Amino acid sequence: MEVSKDHWRHGGAALLFGVSSLIFAGPVFTGGVMSVWVPMPIHLVVLAWTTLVLFVFLTPGLYLLTLKFAANSRHFPIVVLGLITAVATLNSLYFYGSWEYGTRYQGIFHTQVVASENTIGFAVALLISVWGVVRKSPFATYLANLLLFVLLSWCAFPYLGEFP
């Protein structure tokens, strides 16, 4: 399956903008609080507090920068695999350090579901990325890259109630 770089660039950025916007939409539908389906990534929560609406441009912007500077390299599949591995490792360490806060402030069910979403999401992204490297598939590499940024926009490093 061949999809042009422009489709990945523009379609991916639009998708990420929509996913990042869930921070506004999610609480509206859930009574003003986060839910397991909109766990609010902590980096977007902090940016939302400080920049109001500009935070929705963070992950689309980083995604576009990644495509601009790395996608033309023959090492792009390895770059994506490395990014996914690094972010998944940092996300796991974040959960390890924040688990107590999460269970205390959000409850065990919420924390377990959000951790499961992250585990499954990063495992799928990692598998697709490995498939892209092994099969030399540009489609799989672009898909894994987009999935990484979707996870960053949606559920990676979730706010678990540790701020006062």
What are the pLDDT digits (tens) for 15-74?
A: 888 887 776 666 656 555 667 777 777 777 777 667 767 778 888 999 999 999 999 999
Q: What are phi and psi of 41, to 5 degrees?
A: -60, 135
Q: DSSP assignment of the chain, as one string?
A: ----HHIIIIIHHHHHHHHHTHHHHHHHHTTSS--SSS--BHHHHHHHHHHTTGGGGHHHHHHHHHHHHHTTSTTHHHHHHHHHHHHHHHHHHHHHHHHHHHHHHT-HHHHHHHHHHHHHHHHHHHHHHHHHHHHT-HHHHHHHHHHHHHHHHHTSSB--S---
Structural contact between residues 76 and 70, judged by C-beta atoms closer than 8 angstroms: yes
Place of tokens 């999610």: 26
- Identify the residue with better confidence: 5 or 99: 99
What are the pLDDT digits (tens) for 61-75?
A: 999 999 999 999 999
Q: What are phi and psi of 158, to 5 degrees?
A: -70, 150
CA angle 6, 8, 12 (to 5 degrees): 120
Domain boundaries defined on the chain: 5-154
pTM for this model (two decimals): 0.87
What are the pLDDT digits (tens) for 69-93?
A: 999 999 999 999 999 999 999 999 9
- Identify the residue with better confidence: 101 or 83: 83
What is the rounded distance in angstroms from the CA atom of residue 19 to the CA atom of residue 150?
Answer: 7
